[in-house]
């Protein structure tokens, strides 16, 4: 076997030259990594907005105790709305009418707005009680003394249905004797109850909130996000009112209500209060209730002075 020459042996012992990496490839790899990280971060922000958008339109406050009375009127603290755990999740106030009240057989189901808690509605509840009517008001989950969880349109819709079930089941009040009263986003929940229960005699909406997407879009944190695609806490009102045949009292205190009220189908009474007046407010409510809810004690009620549009 021939021996290798010295030159061939030297070539075998010489190490192979290392492969070189193109600097351009490194730049591209780093750029792709950065873009992928930015895209994942953007998707994360979109997901956080989708999950937490309720904070842009719902502003609950918690309370540890209820008031001693509602403008001097005693009330009953109610815990209701069991879920799968059979533990009551909702806290409400049953405010009975006086024995000689004008509407002792009728109950207002009060659905509050999106800010604060039920305690912020005490002045309104006191005015309503002066009509001589039963009132059942409650805090949604996440508000007041109800269960500590974040509110949402879905949860608040279920809470409104639980309040309805409490009145019709636990208190055996017929649907014909219940009038939902919704204020703020509660107007959307009240309208939904009227759609689901056609036997309701009437519906009262006070200063409802509409165009909630516009409220969310005004927040600077949404400017770089596809908020229109991700927004789902809409609390619809315009479309439900357009198809709802239940008699409606629509109380306007701001221009934001006008669009929904114009779209509402008949029969409806639209009232605009340019200034706050408890006397005019009570007269308007009494006139509407006399028209669509049989009073227990007939009596004359003076006509209200605010601007009224009555369509039937």
Distance CA 138, CA 166 (A): 11
Domains and CATH numbers, the chain: 54-311 (3.40.50.1820)
pLDDT at 41: 83
Query: Is residue 93 within 8 Å of 78, Cβ to Cβ?
Result: yes
Task: Indicate the pairing of strand 133-139 with strand 103-111.
Answer: parallel
Q: What is the pLDDT of residue 67?
A: 87
What is the mean pLDDT, run by run of 10 residues, along the chain of 312 residues? Answer: 57 59 78 87 77 85 88 90 80 94 95 94 94 96 93 94 95 96 96 96 91 78 79 88 94 71 90 78 93 72 47 46
pLDDT at 277: 76
Per the structure block, which two tokens stand in for 193? 């109850």
How far CA 160 is from CA of 213, 242, 293, in Å, comes to 22, 21, 22
User: Other CB atoms closer than 10 Å to residue 192's CB: what's the count?
Assistant: 21
Contact 164, 107 (CB under 8 A): no
How far apart, in whole angstroms, are the C-alpha atoms of residue 135 and residue 125? Answer: 8
Q: How far apart are CA 289 and CA 173, in angstroms?
A: 17
**The predicted structure's pLDDT at residue 184:** 92
Query: 2 to each of 5, 7, 89, how far by Cα in Å?
Result: 9, 14, 96
How buried is residue 63: exposed, middle or buried, by Cβ count under 10 Å (0-12/13-18/19+)?
Answer: middle
DSSP state of 154: H
């Amino acid at each position: 076997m021939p021996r290798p020459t010295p030159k061939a042996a030297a070539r075998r012992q010489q190490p192979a030259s290392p492969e070189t990496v193109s600097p351009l490839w490194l730049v591209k790899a780093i750029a792709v990594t950065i873009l992928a990280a930015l895209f994942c971060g953007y998707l994360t922000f979109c997901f956080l907005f989708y999950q937490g958008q309720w904070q842009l339109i719902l502003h609950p406050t918690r309370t540890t105790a209820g008031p001693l009375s509602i403008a001097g009127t005693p009330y009953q603290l109610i815990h209701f709305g069991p879920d799968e755990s059979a533990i009551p999740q909702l806290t409400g106030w049953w405010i009975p009418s006086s024995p000689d009240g004008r509407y002792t057989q009728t109950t207002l189901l009060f659905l509050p707005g999106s800010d604060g808690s039920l305690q912020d509605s005490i002045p309104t509840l006191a005015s309503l009680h002066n009509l001589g009517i039963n009132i059942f008001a409650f805090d949604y989950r996440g508000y007041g003394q109800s269960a500590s969880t974040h509110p949402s349109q879905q949860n608040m819709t279920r809470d409104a249905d639980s309040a309805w079930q409490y009145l019709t089941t636990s208190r055996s009040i017929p649907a014909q004797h219940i009038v939902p009263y919704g204020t703020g986003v509660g107007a959307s929940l009240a309208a939904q109850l009227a759609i689901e229960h056609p036997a309701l005699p009437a519906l009262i909406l006070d200063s409802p909130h509409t165009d909630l997407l516009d409220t969310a879009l005004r927040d600077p944190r949404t400017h770089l996000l596809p908020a229109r695609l991700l927004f789902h806490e809409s609390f619809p009102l315009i479309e439900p009112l357009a198809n709802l045949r239940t008699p409606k009292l629509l109380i306007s205190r701001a221009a934001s209500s006008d669009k929904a009220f114009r779209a509402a189908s008949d029969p409806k009474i639209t009232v605009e209060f340019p200034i706050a007046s408890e006397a005019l407010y009570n007269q308007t409510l009494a006139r509407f209730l006399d028209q669509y809810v049989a009073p227990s004690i007939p009596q004359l009620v003076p006509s209200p002075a605010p601007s009224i549009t009555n369509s039937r």
